[in-house]
Structure 1
Amino acid sequence: MLPSTNKRPIITHENPKSPISEAYRTLRTNIEFSAIDEEIKVIMVTSAGPGEGKSTTITNLAVAYAQADKRVVLIDADLRKPTMHHTFQMSNRWGLTNVLSGQATLQEVVRETEIVHLDVITSGPIPPNPSEMLASKRMTAFLDELRGKYDVILIDTPPALAVTDAQLVATKCDGVVLVIDSGKVKRDMAIKAKANLDYVKAKILGVVLNNMDRKNAESYYYYYYGAQDNKK
């Protein structure tokens, strides 16, 4: 399997001085300050539905952490429609599913990127039982192993309303960021996605409102507000 040629630009890497890149750094800072007394190391990013920008958000957030000299690993746990191998132009022959099925070790699936301090673990072959894999004890053990090697572990999952995968992974994370497309997703869908995460007692760190201003190309496309503001 050849690496993907469908390269997707990562703005925080290619244009770190842009207003959008600054917005991702603000998101990183807000997450760091969201839990003063608790360690936020394993962070899941999901969305209500497809096409809201969760994978773009988590990729740029990962770069923002790496630029702050954090050792970062980005995991593609969207075992139904993975995208990280496209973004980083990598083969997806070996990845997370190989580890969870006992076919590979961490050392065999983790890959360095051109971005200093940022490693990636692609999804691996799409399995017939993604939910069971993500809920497994082997997934928990894998994340525990990563905790000992990285400062920040970022996990991309399928949308929260599509399947139960996001809820299952959320129970293994220190916090969750929910991405909402402000011009696409209706309020009741966003509320239901949050309710699904609340049901499994996920710690929601905040919400990213995507595409706040489509007319101004230099506007902040991403706006973060802390979990305490969700109650307003």
Structure 2
Amino acid sequence: MIPNIFKPRDIFRKKSLTTMSYPESFIAEQYRTIRTNIQFINGVKKNQSFLITSTNSEEGKSTTAVNLAVSLVQQKERVLLIDTNLKKPSVHMTFNLDNSIGLTDILRGKQSFDDAVVKTEFGRLEVLPSGPIPFNSSELIGSRTMFDLIESTLKRYDIVIFDSPSILESSDTKILANLCDGVILVIKSGKTETKKAIEAKRLLDIAKAKIIGVILNNSK
């Protein structure tokens, strides 16, 4: 008997993409509510960038990023989702994408944006995977090339979403937070410590980030 080697990834994908797998579920509706709240807070203007982060790992920020992106596409927005977690990327696994080419290749001047970006089954949603994991992620994220990339993508997409590392675990996030139009902090009920959530907000304030809201994940 030949085992189904794709089953674990399929299960991971189904659980991560709730807005697609279970569109009528309560959780999918909550993501649509988050989408609406963002529009109320920041307005319905086009060409906006949002960074999704958390205090620590395993708190649901990547799941939030991908589902928010799908929810926005369902409202006819043209969306780019960029995986800027250059230490532990996961967006490519959710969409079953190859991660051999991506953001790091663009920042190193090895690939063009058009060669690295990937179209998805959701039509208006495109994904830029992280690419090969570098040893100097902060230098790449803080480079002029990264700034230029953000500027150019905002001219091509209605909304750009950055799935970033956790704010307490990486200085990359503080750099990106300063460049985005809004930051959403994800905290996990029963796991995130209050003092760490307060420290995360302090670091974002230092970075002069515009915190537009907090998502309470795994709420009972």
Q: Same fold (TM over 0.5)?
A: yes
State the SS of the aligned residue for 1:120: strand
State the SS of the aligned residue for 2:156: coil
State the SS of the aligned residue for 2:179: coil
Q: Is the 8 A contact 1:46 1:160 kept in 2?
A: yes
1:185 equivalent in structure 2:
192
* Alpha-carbon distance between aligned partners in 2 of 1:19 and 1:70, rounded to the nearest angstrom: 22
Confirm or deny that 1:6 pairs with 2:6.
no
Corresponding residue to 1:170 among 156, 177, 180: 177
Corresponding residue to 2:99 among 88, 92, 96: 92
Confirm or deny that 1:141 pairs with 2:148.
yes
* Alpha-carbon distance between aligned partners in 1 of 2:60 and 2:207, rounded to the nearest angstrom: 23
Confirm or deny that 1:22 pairs with 2:25.
no
* Alpha-carbon distance between aligned partners in 1 of 2:31 and 2:136, rounded to the nearest angstrom: 33
Q: Is the 8 A contact 2:46 2:159 kept in 1?
A: no
* Alpha-carbon distance between aligned partners in 2 of 1:73 and 1:201, rounded to the nearest angstrom: 24
Shift of 1:40: 6.8
1:223 equivalent in structure 2:
none
Confirm or deny that 1:152 pairs with 2:159.
yes
TM-score (norm 2): 0.92
**RMSD of aligned residue pairs (Cα, Å):** 1.7
Confirm or deny that 1:62 pairs with 2:69.
yes
AA paired with 1:102? G
Q: Is the 8 A contact 2:53 2:183 kept in 1?
A: yes
2:119 equivalent in structure 1:
112
Q: Is the 8 A contact 2:47 2:157 kept in 1?
A: no
Gapped runs of 5+ residues in structure 2? Answer: 1-5
Q: 1:68-93 CA distances to partner (integer Å, 9 max, x unpaired)?
A: 00000100000000001111111101
Identity, % of aligned positions: 43
Corresponding residue to 1:195 among 194, 202, 205: 202
Gapped runs of 5+ residues in structure 1? Answer: 214-232
Shift of 1:38: 7.2
* Alpha-carbon distance between aligned partners in 2 of 1:6 and 1:133, rounded to the nearest angstrom: 29
* Alpha-carbon distance between aligned partners in 2 of 1:40 and 1:192, rounded to the nearest angstrom: 30
More helix by share: 2
2:137 equivalent in structure 1:
130
AA paired with 1:134? I
Q: Is the 8 A contact 1:44 1:175 kept in 2?
A: yes
The verdict on how the C-alpha distance between 1:147 and 1:25 changes in structure 2, with shifts beyond 3 A counting, is same
TM-score (norm 1): 0.87
Q: Is the 8 A contact 1:98 1:124 kept in 2?
A: yes
AA paired with 1:6? R
* Alpha-carbon distance between aligned partners in 1 of 2:179 and 2:131, rounded to the nearest angstrom: 20
